[in-house]
Structure 1
């Protein structure tokens, strides 16, 4: 009897598993539903990351419980943004430099019009993050960031959402999203500062990492993006007008903001190095 009951349970479990797989394959990962499912998945993942950061910090970081309410909210928010940054920067690097999808050797269609279910899903997850983070920034404005953060997230979210829904310019969107690789070091700077370690060696090393990653990901890579657009100008012009405007306008606007922030990073690093002498 016990063996029979065990077999019945296994068959029931297998049946539920098959139904779940069919549901995911036919609806969640079906091409028409990918953008919506991935955006919802991004929002849910952000919520989970926020709550997990709060849970871990409460038990393992003594300084966390001594923070003010808004400081704890920002702490959790930065944990959420760090997770997104790691996720999107790794996958963006893959799509831009390692995937055959956007390779010039791939002769299937214009590079500006190529997309895949995976690339669309990844973008949807990122849109979910930008929606979540922008909502928090606006709700607690200006505690989590000023107008420049609202502009940055609005531009980024709009550009990613357009590429996700239309399949246009996904290569350039991923190029810009690689810049998220700087986020973990920027967040670490805040964590070290709030923990009272502003004069530590770790703070100095982190400052150097911010400078280096920002220079590569937000200055040099943006120049490479502009150069790539120049080389593929004829293909870019095959996009819809909205896509063409986003390809030219968003990287330029974000590039200007990156230069402004980079100036502040250089001044801050020079000030920190001067104090160590």
Structure 2
């Protein structure tokens, strides 16, 4: 029969189809198939001609199936799909590789740099390295963008670079302090437990970076003493270094440490005042505006904020008493000494602002 032959032909063209041969079919099935083939088609009666073979699927090289015996446009679209699939597979493999590198970097940070026993030490080394980078970057940028940099004396260039380094540290530690104190729940009253014992990997790591800065800056002060600062700077840096190192290693009193470190927000203004003075711009409007900003920042961050710290210690005195004896005394001694020094410097700033405003008026 014609239809049976067509079925056999179709089987030869597409061997992957799971159709049994017509010889094994019952005769009734063949007859019924023939009868069905004589049924009128949708458009009218069957005209007796052999039906055109249906398009069959042929496996493509890349695993994609295209239609054979069909329209050529279908094959073209299939080849486009095969090519796009190859490109997407390459991109997918590249993305998987990048994801693998990302996971390896995260494991390196977690298992080594940010592992709990190693965080204090690695963070200090990172802080010292960042100070070196900030020092060198200040020197390079100043030599390119400040014409008078080359005319400065050697000690002036060293102090110039050192103040650039201290400004970078001040911006970093102020941002971290404000974030941890105001934007996270680490020191929030909503959490239970003493606030004096709260800490995290981020808070400990940031304190280590600050310790690295104070070590580097204190070493430069001793090396070039008294060119970069007198005894008041040594006292300030030593107290800060001891207090921050203790809270970093013990995890105690980090809230009060970060509250005090917010006072570093005045450091960029102090350094900018020195930069303008050294550059011969003491009579410029920028010098006046910076002096006013320094006065306001000093009043808020080094006077009023310290008063709030003492008030907070008073309210949470029962929790402060639970600290180790060394940490307990540091909580009272360091802010008190720094507050006295801040008040003395504030009186000098106030006199300077009055003198400057008198000249401009």
TM over 0.5, yes or no?
Answer: yes
**What CA deviation, in whole Å up to 9, does each residue of 1:160-209 have, x standing for no partner?**
11000000000000000000000000000000000101111111111101
Q: How many residues are treated as equivalent by the alignment?
A: 274
**What CA deviation, in whole Å up to 9, does each residue of 1:68-127 have, x standing for no partner?**
0000000100110101101101111122222211111111x2100100011001111111
Aligned mate of 1:110, from 178, 184, 194: 194
Distance 1:241 1:249 in 2: 12
Matched, 1:236 2:320: yes
- Compute the TM-score of the two structures, normalised by the length of structure 2: 0.72
Matched, 1:142 2:142: no
Matched, 1:87 2:160: no
Alignment of 1:51-130 (within 5 A): 51-107=136-192, 109-130=193-214
Residues 69 and 176 (structure 1), Cα distance of their counterparts in 2 relative to 1, 3 Å cut: same
Distance 1:16 1:103 in 2: 36
Higher radius of gyration, 1 or 2: 2
* Residue segments in structure 1 that go unaligned for 5+ positions in a row: none
Measured on the aligned residues, the alpha-carbon RMSD in Å equals 1.9
For residue 20 of structure 1, report the CA deviation from its aligned partner: 3.8
* Residue segments in structure 2 that go unaligned for 5+ positions in a row: 1-86
Provide the secondary structure at the position in 1 that maps to 2:310: helix
Higher relative contact order (CA 8 A, sep 6+): 1
Structure 2 partner of 1:224: 308
Distance 2:125 2:335 in 1: 26
Deviates more, 1:260-269 or 1:216-225: 260-269
Structure 1 partner of 2:55: none
Greater share of residues in helix = 1
**What CA deviation, in whole Å up to 9, does each residue of 1:109-161 have, x standing for no partner?**
21001000110011111111111111111111100000000100000011011
Q: 4+ residue stretches of structure 1 with deviation over 3 A? A: 6-21
Structure 1 partner of 2:84: none
Provide the secondary structure at the position in 2 that maps to 1:229: helix
